[in-house]
Structure 1
Amino acid sequence: MATPKTSLHLVVVLLLLSVSVSNAGHHRPRTLHVPVFPRDAVFPPPPVSTKRNGLLRQRLAADAARYASLVDDTAAASGHDRRLHSPVYTGIPFETGEYFASVGVGTPSTEALLVIDTGSDLVWLQCSPCRRCYAQTGRVFDPRRSATYRRIPCSSTQCRALRYPGCDVGVTGGCEYVIAYGDGSSSTGDLATDRLAFANDTCVHNVTLGCGRDNEGLFDSAAGLLGVGRGRMSISTQVAPAYGRVFEYCLGDRTTAASRTSYLVFGRAADQLPHAAAFTALLTNPRRPSLYYVDMNGFSVGGERVTGFSNASLRLDAATGRGGVVVDSGTAISRFARDAYAALRDAFDARAAAAGMRKLEREYSVFDSCYDLRGRPAASAPPIVLHFAGGADMALPPENYFLPIDGGRQQRRRTAYHCLGFEAADNGLSVIGNVQQQGFRVVFDVEKERIGFAPNGCAV
């Protein structure tokens, strides 16, 4: 349903004003903090086995489907704690590349693990009774047991704000939502409001969310999605009257329990960044307004700028909505336009050869630049820096781009190869994924139209 431009502002205002915040101390914190943990820290993966490469292929296949959903246009859919927090877990035990936020839903609260998704807006979770639900970790939310659950009527501004609104023709006359992703995943159910509880005993009331009755796709183990895109229905927009249009996260190393310092925070405390933080402009794509675009202008390998590709390859064409670089929490492996990726890979290979590193002849899954280090530390890999407009740089630690791959058994010993952890994008859209973001404090400051990166950001 098309909404006149003047009505959109009214929709936003009415939607945001309906949200209220409270906590046990009756003082509203200035920020909402959501702790984030790697998946392995909470759900230990199976022991290393000869099936590791099989699991890797499954995870990369799921990641490719996630990237497809971004490319496909149908994917749009005071002395007191001053932050709003939620725990975060990685998806490794569930063989996916996402990170999960732990949020309480309803009264009393039902804990829900929700995929943190900067690429979409709607907050939704599976609900009981369910016509079709996939297997999730933990109890499925039952709105009949929540004293604060309310269906939203079809005539509401929230319902009209949906891209594909529907209406229950039964007695309730409630609003129904349909959200479909480019990878074939989908969720359909009731649009409602309820309370969300965060880790610092802060509750956000009257949050608009989807109660999914028919769900399928690549959401195995997660209860649903926590949409933190730039749209009107996202949780970051809904809490903006209390916390401002700014949030940050730090996604820790998914393979170590030391990543319990990972977090997701909503609020202006994101300004309190170390001097090492670098900001670049946040761009807007009128055709994909929910995504977080940045003006990335190149790479360096071994201290030298990478050449041999067109700068237009990474540039957003606002007229057509094509191209550009998106910072995304749901995609694992970064993808760059094919000529840019090829130039980056060739520069890396040249530096590695000069350092005496042995490149393998074969490819591993999607990776076409792999090495047998033969006792060398992974830290000996040529350093890589991502460059953004305004002089902002993102110097990646080796573990963020030189990824260990199980090479199988040779001469009665298991070999561990390492591969350059990027892919080529053939669909125009480049993405900075969460593997490359690991350990960085990433700030999404919509108010000031900027995105910031600070290394070693999980130790805050």
Structure 2
Amino acid sequence: MESESQDTCSFYRLYSVALPSMVHGPRATQDTAQEHKTISLSLCAQPPLDVYHRLSHLAAASLARAHHIKNPKLTPAAVTTTSTPLSPHSYGGYSITLKFGTPPQTMPFVMDTGSSFVWFPCTHNYVCKDCDFSTGQSEDRRSIPTFIPKLSSTARIVGCLNPKCGWIHNPDTRARCSDCALNSSNCTQICPPYLILYGSGSTGGLALLDTLDLNEKKVPEFLVGCSLFSSRQPAGIAGFGRGETAVPSQLGLSKFSYCLVSHKFDDTQMSSSLNLTGNSISGEKLAGIRYTRLLKNPQVQAKEQFSVYYYLGLKNIMVGRKRVKIPRPYLSPADSATGDGGAIVDSGTTFTYMGREVFEPVAREIETQARGYKRAKEVEALTGLRPCFNVSGLKMVSLPSLRFKFKGGAVMVFPLENYFSIAGKAEAVCLTVVTDPPGREEPNGPKVILGNFQQQNFYVEYDLKKNRFGFRPQKCA
């Protein structure tokens, strides 16, 4: 009984009832009558010791990630359907394992649809600062698996004249290969090192070509980064965004999909699957999936990263039965000149981000519809989340529903545990959406970033061949 009580008090333990997880087409009118969702609160004997710290960490990491997405900085073959386990972690991301080299070396990667480069910690001399999230130590090489190039007979450093070097750096050979003679075809200069800055960390190293072993098929000369140093990176990153260096492009995928298990299973053996579908087959057709078109990416000078994101046509945001009034330019497709506005989906962001122009009216409407509960300002200060509501002593709490309506009619209805989290000894619940502090807004970039916390227990599909984004509610574990 004690273990059951402790499980009930786990970090993300929320229960929702009464409302289906999706509305589409004619059903929307029927379902919108149910404007609130109810959660059961089970009081714990002891609150989780680090619950405020974890919420604060995830909120800060989500906001840092959003700032990077809005202001990115980067310094200079088809397969059949296959799948790999996809696991949740307390640092806020989901990881997969891939095998590189001959013989293959198995490496963990954070699965990231908001970037396009693939890299792993590399060599015995790999150094990572503030990367051991489990022990809190600033540096621990032993806890981070590293790829050893000399143990792979197929690994080789990318030459400067190799066209794949141009995927990372300037495509102009003369600009990036200054030591090569003009029109030379026999230059020994290697591809310049890369340095990548993420929202809360960085990595740098040299580009390699090696074999990616997918069990069903081996993919030779896959471009991958051999990172020699990093900061605040729990593992390598497998970029699944748009772009030549990304996994979908290098594998010639027509589609990839995943189902994210709840974060309450963080750092456990629980996992779901990331499915990769090649161009030669259409893949399994699943019932109940709602689709919206993937929009054209803005092409902004000095913001090339904007071309990597998956932009969605977010039409409206509904709180309860009310459509929140948000100026159209913020939700409409991004401005082609500045990249300002629009919505993207990003598996690497934990809590959904909204620019202040979007967040404030959404938060106000939630507060209005939850006016029976007092704001928990002290919890907001501890977690960096708002609004938080005081629910001390209550066994049941009713909160307004949250929906994203997309162009084409698809509606994503979020389960309550996907946008509210219990804080402390069940004395408060907090909205798990972040925004910029006053005066620190990024001027351009997406106004809405749909994070992985809100994608929990949804089947999500990126249909690259038909250029559409699909989803349906589904228990992933």
Distance in 2, matches of 1:259 and 1:395, equals: 28
Paired residue type of 2:208: A
1:211 aligns with 2:226: yes
Change (3 A) 1:76 1:336: farther
Distance in 2, matches of 1:338 and 1:115, equals: 28
SS at match of 1:255: helix
For the Cα contact (< 8 Å) 1:279–1:450, is it kept in 2? yes
Paired residue type of 2:222: V
Change (3 A) 1:225 1:311: same
SS at match of 1:264: strand
Post-superposition shift, 1:82?
4.9
1:282 aligns with 2:291: no
For the Cα contact (< 8 Å) 1:285–1:293, is it kept in 2? no
Pairing of 1:342-353 with structure 2 (within 5 A): 342-353=360-371
Aligned partner of 1:37 in structure 2 is none
SS at match of 1:161: helix
Distance in 2, matches of 1:260 and 1:76, equals: 37
Match of 2:150 among 126, 129, 144: 144
Change (3 A) 1:121 1:297: same
1:228 aligns with 2:234: no
Aligned partner of 1:446 in structure 2 is 464
In the alignment of these two chains, the number of paired residues is 391
Pairing of 1:7-86 with structure 2 (within 5 A): 49-75=48-74, 82-86=80-84
Distance in 1, matches of 2:473 and 2:75, equals: 30
Deviation string 1:415-436 (CA, Å, 9 cap, x unpaired) is 4421111122432422111101
1:248 aligns with 2:260: no
For the Cα contact (< 8 Å) 1:176–1:189, is it kept in 2? no
1:314 aligns with 2:331: yes
Deviation string 1:307-349 (CA, Å, 9 cap, x unpaired) is 3x21222221123222211100111111112132122112222
For the Cα contact (< 8 Å) 2:387–2:430, is it kept in 1? yes
Change (3 A) 1:53 1:83: same
Pairing of 1:371-410 with structure 2 (within 5 A): 371-373=389-391, 374-377=393-396, 380-406=398-424
For the Cα contact (< 8 Å) 2:82–2:216, is it kept in 1? no
Change (3 A) 1:169 1:139: farther
Deviation string 1:185-241 (CA, Å, 9 cap, x unpaired) is 33222211112234x55433321111112x22220x31x11011100111110111x
Distance in 2, matches of 1:229 and 1:162, equals: 14
Distance in 2, matches of 1:121 and 1:150, equals: 21
Among the aligned pairs, what percent are the same residue?
Answer: 27
Post-superposition shift, 1:65?
2.1
Match of 1:329 among 342, 347, 365: 347
TM-score by length of 1: 0.77
Post-superposition shift, 1:385?
0.7
For the Cα contact (< 8 Å) 1:293–1:326, is it kept in 2? yes
Post-superposition shift, 1:75?
4.6
1:109 aligns with 2:104: yes
Post-superposition shift, 1:452?
1.0
Distance in 1, matches of 2:81 and 2:75, equals: 29
Post-superposition shift, 1:110?
2.1
For the Cα contact (< 8 Å) 1:252–1:259, is it kept in 2? no
Distance in 2, matches of 1:179 and 1:270, equals: 37
Aligned partner of 1:423 in structure 2 is 434
Paired residue type of 1:59: L
Deviation string 1:1-27 (CA, Å, 9 cap, x unpaired) is xxxxxxxxxxxxxxxxxxxxxxxxxxx
Deviation string 1:248-269 (CA, Å, 9 cap, x unpaired) is 1221101137983522111167
SS at match of 1:86: strand
For the Cα contact (< 8 Å) 2:123–2:149, is it kept in 1? yes
Paired residue type of 1:310: P
For the Cα contact (< 8 Å) 1:121–1:231, is it kept in 2? yes
Distance in 2, matches of 1:231 and 1:357, equals: 47
Paired residue type of 1:265: N
Change (3 A) 1:144 1:169: farther
Change (3 A) 1:393 1:76: farther
Change (3 A) 1:255 1:131: closer
Distance in 2, matches of 1:168 and 1:141, equals: 30
Change (3 A) 1:109 1:422: same
For the Cα contact (< 8 Å) 1:325–1:431, is it kept in 2? yes
Distance in 1, matches of 2:336 and 2:470, equals: 22
Paired residue type of 1:91: H
Change (3 A) 1:393 1:351: same
SS at match of 1:367: coil
Structure 2 residue runs without a partner (length 5+): 1-11, 13-45, 130-139, 181-186, 301-305
Structure 1 residue runs without a partner (length 5+): 1-39, 41-46, 407-413
Q: Specify which structure has the bigger relative contact order, considering alpha-carbon pairs within 8 angstroms and separated by 6 or more residues.
A: 2
For the Cα contact (< 8 Å) 2:194–2:207, is it kept in 1? no
Change (3 A) 1:82 1:260: farther
Deviation string 1:121-180 (CA, Å, 9 cap, x unpaired) is 111111114363344644311110012212221111101222368669799632233132
Deviation string 1:262-286 (CA, Å, 9 cap, x unpaired) is 2211116786454322111111222
Distance in 2, matches of 1:238 and 1:444, equals: 16
For the Cα contact (< 8 Å) 1:247–1:265, is it kept in 2? yes
SS at match of 2:257: strand
Distance in 2, matches of 1:125 and 1:52, equals: 31
> Which stretch of structure 1 is more off in the superposition, 249-258 or 66-75?
249-258
SS at match of 1:148: coil
Change (3 A) 1:143 1:449: same
SS at match of 2:263: coil
Aligned partner of 2:24 in structure 1 is none
